[in-house]
Structures are given as structure tokens and as C-alpha cells.
Amino acid sequence: MKVIVDLCVIPLGVGVSVSQYVVACEKIINEAGLVSRLHAYGTNIEGDWDAVMAAVKKCHEVVHEMGAPRISTTMRLGTRIDRDQGMQDKIDSVTSKMNG
Amino acid sequence: MKVIVDLCVIPLGVGVSVSQYVVACEKIINEAGLVSRLHAYGTNIEGDWDAVMAAVKKCHEVVHEMGAPRISTTMRLGTRIDRDQGMQDKIDSVTSKMNG
Amino acid sequence: MKVIVDLCVIPLGVGVSVSQYVVACEKIINEAGLVSRLHAYGTNIEGDWDAVMAAVKKCHEVVHEMGAPRISTTMRLGTRIDRDQGMQDKIDSVTSKMNG
Amino acid sequence: MKVIVDLCVIPLGVGVSVSQYVVACEKIINEAGLVSRLHAYGTNIEGDWDAVMAAVKKCHEVVHEMGAPRISTTMRLGTRIDRDQGMQDKIDSVTSKMNG
């Protein structure tokens, strides 16, 4: 089952600057070979359900290892069985109608 | 790694009434032996990361099997390594201060 | 326009214990006369759109005043125009089918 | 109070294809003069709290007028008082460390 996820990992108890933890998560996602794109409030990830979820779990493990005692993550998870649709397809289906 | 999740599964393409799909997810969570509590906009679930995530995946699989061509789920996922805290502990830590 | 919201306010830069900030938000919601119910990963709130959003804004203002330099909130917002449905109706529509 | 929002509006009861509703929301956000950027699972919006929230409310109103009987939206809302930070600053703070 393919999934498109929007992931936002928030470490607590480590101050206001959290970018180093986001960087660590980006590396995990990239090393997993997943298609992803960072935005200003999270990261879009596309891939097989199990591979994506394994990466999310590793993000929590690594961010804890880096010193964050607590993490509060939010995710959106989209699956569909009617047709194959990637991240770029979703954006294109909107922008094509914006310009139309 | 223990996790407290807040899960909201939204099936698309099946009309406005989605309670039968929520019921199916509740049954999956209960049959997995996970501690959970339904609220008006989702379900709190507490348990081992892998067990909780397996239940979430099964929710997507079953809701698709029930006829939903598309699903958009949102989750909050909380982990902490500084101390053990369950769902009821989180509520108690607030309500004790409310009445104090 | 009536809305049912699920609100989770996460203050950053104030350590791992955030319950005092949740308490402050609960008081704001109660004082606004809104129907609400706390759960383990947020609070359900029901009411007029503008009244609910005014309370959410006040939560951010007060949590900043309490000393949190940064806040990351997540919300689900449900509106419907086909029929009137409250928080308890949503729960009942699920639980009645669970026991059926 | 400035806010960075990540908005995802999901209309229910209108089938699986929701891009026309996303397009309508993009137009509302643009016409409000807000800085925004579409991604594969939502839209980043930056601006004054009241202006952003007025646009979100208008999205619900317009999507209902377009025929959606029910809407389930998710939002992340970030505010900070320690320093001024825009959407691009957030991305830059990560990407600069990625390449470092």
C-alpha cells in the first residue's frame, strides 16, 4: 500500500531551535530512499507504507538519542486505491486548474 | 518505544456519513488489545509503537476494503523517554491543576 | 457557522512539562462559555466559528504571556451544513453502532 | 500577532476528486494578499493572525457554497515572540544545515 505522508516532528524540552532535529529526520528519510520534499511546516514523503513508517519511527528514535526527552509529531496520511497518484500529481492537479 | 497516538481516519468518496468506518477502526484497535478512548474528533490510543502502527495500517486496509477509494488520516504521536506517562496521566496532570 | 474543533497547543522552549499551559487554555475555553471536553491529546470544542477562533487566539496570547517563546498548535476543524451535529452526537453515532 | 499556518481542507460528500475545492481556497488566500505556498498535502500561509484566520473561514464558507455538505480541515499554527521568522527562513534554517 502506497502512502503520501505529511510529517512534522516537534521535539520538546530542547529549547526553541529545532532545525537540527529536522535535519536529522531529513537525512533519515533521504537515506531510506524515499521521495520527499521539505516545506515550511513539515515534509511530504511518498512511498510504501511500511518503508515510510519505518522512517518515521527512526526519526523518533534518533531525535530522542540526540537528547530530546519528549516528541510530539503530527502526520497526515493519504492512501487511495482508485488510482496511482504521487506528490507531484497532487500539486499539478491544483496548479493546472489555477492557471486554467 | 511506547507511544500515545491521537488518530482520526477520514474516508473520502463515500458520502458524508463516516461513522461505520470509525466503528470498524474501533474494533480493530480493540481487537489489537490496545488501550484506547474515543472522543468527538478522533481516538486516543496507547501502546507499543509497532502494535499501534500495525493497527493504524489495518484501519486503512479495512476501510479501503469496505469501499472507500481514498482515505485522509491525521495523527498526533507522542513519545517520551524521561518518564512513563499514560493517557490518563496526561488528563490527570491537567485536571488536578484545574481544580487546584 | 458552527464548528467542532480539536485543539492541541504545544508550547516550545519551556521544558517538557506543559500541563500548566494546557490548564490556562482550558480556563480560556471555559470562560468563553464554549462546550468542551479534554482528552489525552487535545481538547474538543464546539461553538460558533468566531467564538471558538477567538478562544484559540487568546490561548496563543496567554501562553506567550506565560513565557513560552514559541507555540506549535494543531487543530482539526469540522463544519457541516447538511444537519446539526454536536460533539456528543458524533460519539453516539459511533458507540450506538459498536454495541449494535 | 504573526502566524505561519499549514492548512489542509478536506471536503466530504463530494467524491474523491477534491482539487477544485483546493483551487478555490488557493484563490481566496491569494486574493487576501497572504504569502502562501502549495505543497502536496496542504498549503503554507504566512501573515497576521486575523487575516489568515479570516481566509480560512472564507475557505469553509466557499467550499460549502460550492456544494460540499461537510468539511474536515487540519491546521498547524506556529507563533513565536522571540524573533521574526518567515516561511522561507524556516526552510533555510534546515537546508543550510543539510548542506553544511
What does the pLDDT look like over C72-92, one tens digit per residue?
999 999 999 999 999 999 999
Measured in angstroms, the CA of A62 and the nearest CA of chain C are apart by 18
Report the C-alpha dihedral over residues C48, C88, B59, D38, rounded to 10 degrees.
0
User: Is D57 an 8 Å CB contact of chain C?
Assistant: yes
ipTM here: 0.95
Q: Helices H, strands E: what count in chain D?
A: 3, 4
* Strand-pair partners of B70: A80, B12
Stated pTM of the model: 0.97
Check if the beta carbon of residue A52 is closer than 8 Å to that of residue A58: no
In chain A, which residues have their Cβ closer than 8 Å to the Cβ of C69?
16
Mean pLDDT value across residues B73-83: 97
- Whole-number pLDDT of residue D98: 87
DSSP 3-state assignment of B18?
Answer: coil
Q: Which residues of B touch D69 (CB under 8 A)?
A: 16
Kindly list the distances between the CA atom of residue D5 and the CA atoms of C72, D66, D74, in Å, as whole numbers in the listed order.
10, 24, 10
Residues of C in contact with B66 (CB under 8 A): none
Does the CB of B54 have a partner CB in chain A at under 8 Å? no
pLDDT at B92 over 90: yes
Judged by a CB distance cut-off of 8 A, whether residue A53 touches chain B is yes
Looking at the predicted structure, is the pLDDT value of residue A9 above 70?
yes
Mean pLDDT of D59-78: 98
Residue range A41-68: mean pLDDT, rounded: 98
A92, closest residue in chain D (CA to CA): D40
CB D37 within 8 A of CB A40: yes
The alpha carbon of B20 is separated from its chain's Cα centroid by a whole number of angstroms, namely: 16
Q: Do C60 and D1 touch (CB under 8 A)?
A: yes
Give mean pLDDT, residues D9-22. 94
Residues A74, A8 contacting (CB under 8 angstroms): yes
Question: Residue D100 pLDDT > 70, yes or no?
Answer: no
Q: What is the mean pLDDT of chain D?
A: 96
Mean pLDDT, rounded, for C43-48: 98
Closest partner residue to A94 (CB to CB) among D16, D22, D82 is D22
Average pLDDT, chain A: 96
Mean pLDDT over residues D56-74, rounded? Answer: 98
Q: What is the pLDDT of residue A47?
A: 97
- What's residue D99's pLDDT? 76
Nearest to B44 among C27, C39, C97 (CB): C39
What residues in B contact D8, CB-CB < 8 Å? Answer: 72
Residue A100's pLDDT is: 62
Contact B69 A81 (CB under 8 A): yes
- Least trusted range by pLDDT, from A95-99, B10-14, C82-86, D68-72: A95-99
Q: Which amino acid is at C23?
A: V
Whether residue A99 has pLDDT greater than 80: no
How does strand B35-39 pair with strand C70-80? unpaired
Q: Do A72 and B78 touch (CB under 8 A)?
A: yes
Of the candidates D57, D72, D81, the beta carbon closest to that of C69 is on D81
pLDDT greater than 90 at residue B99 = no
> pLDDT confidence of A98, banded at 50, 70, 90?
confident
Does A51 touch chain D if contact means CB atoms closer than 8 Å?
A: no
Please check whether residue B7 is in contact with residue B42, taking contact to mean a CB–CB distance below 8 angstroms: yes
Distances (CA, A) of B64 to A85, B5, B24, B53: 16, 21, 11, 17
> In this complex, which chains have at least 3 CB pairs below 8 Å with chain D?
A, B, C
- What is the per-residue pLDDT for C100? 62
Q: Measured between beta carbons, which residues in chain C are less than 8 angstroms from residue D49?
A: 57, 60
Mutate to test the interface with B, among A9, A57, A63, A93 (most CBs of B within 10 A): A57
Residue C100 corresponds to which cell in the numbers above? 449494535
pLDDT-based confidence at residue B98 (cuts at 50, 70, 90): confident
Q: Is D65 exposed, middle or buried (0-12, 13-18, 19+ CB in 10 A)?
A: exposed
Per-residue pLDDT band for D37 (boundaries 50, 70, 90) equals very high
Q: CA D81: distance to chain centroid?
A: 21
Q: What percent of chain D has pLDDT over 70?
A: 99
